[in-house]
Amino acid sequence: MTMFEILCIDDVSESEYEKYYSLLAEEKKKRIDSLRFEKDKRLSVCAEMLAKKMIAKRCSVKPENIVILTDSNGKPYVKNADIYFNISHSGDMVACALCDSPVGIDIEKMREVDDKLIKFVSTNEELEYIYAEPAVKQQRFFEIWTAKEAYFKCVGSGITDLKSINVLDDEIKKHLKTSIKDDYAISVYQQ
């Protein structure tokens, strides 16, 4: 069973943020400390915080007992646990998906994008879908974009040629859930 949650970083108190920062591995702290913008630091800490809370609840352990590592492709995993998760952040939101099989999640704040970008990442079938309803072109683009990112994060290959997959393909769609919340597109892909 796949579950996912989203969290606005503005809803995280300073004391809770500091607590979860203190629980990070030293290597992760160094990476976060090297980030230029405070907002990016908050997004990173809050994303891991959300993941640890969800994993702790599912595994009936304390969040501070959850050890998150990354594989050679940068995909996160839980040390000594048969549980899969993935995190994403955009704007002021973080998202985490949790599953018993490989999973990927992407969240993106929707905004205006130009047609060059849309055409760069989309297959012909996806382009037809995006442009079929001009009033929702941006929303449809972000549905496609987040679906592709979630797919690549799930398979753990890193993001390669975005046109190499068609997320409207029935085989991919049966593993994919896409939703819109406020001005965010969220996609979860589960193997």
Look at residue 175 and tell me whether its pLDDT is greater than 80: yes
Phi-psi region of 108 (alpha: psi -120 to 50; beta: other; left: phi over 0): beta
The model scores a pTM over 0.75: yes
How confident is the model at residue 68, as a pLDDT? 86
Domain limit, last residue, from 100, 134, 169: 100
For residues 76 and 153, membership in a common domain is answered with no
**Residue 25 to residue 29: CA distance in whole angstroms:** 6
Please report, for the domain that includes residue 122, its CATH number: 3.90.470.20
Burial class, 107, CB count within 10 angstroms (exposed 0-12 / middle 13-18 / buried 19+): buried
**Region 69-85 average pLDDT:** 82
User: pLDDT band at 142, cuts 50/70/90?
Assistant: very high
For residues 150 and 70, membership in a common domain is answered with no
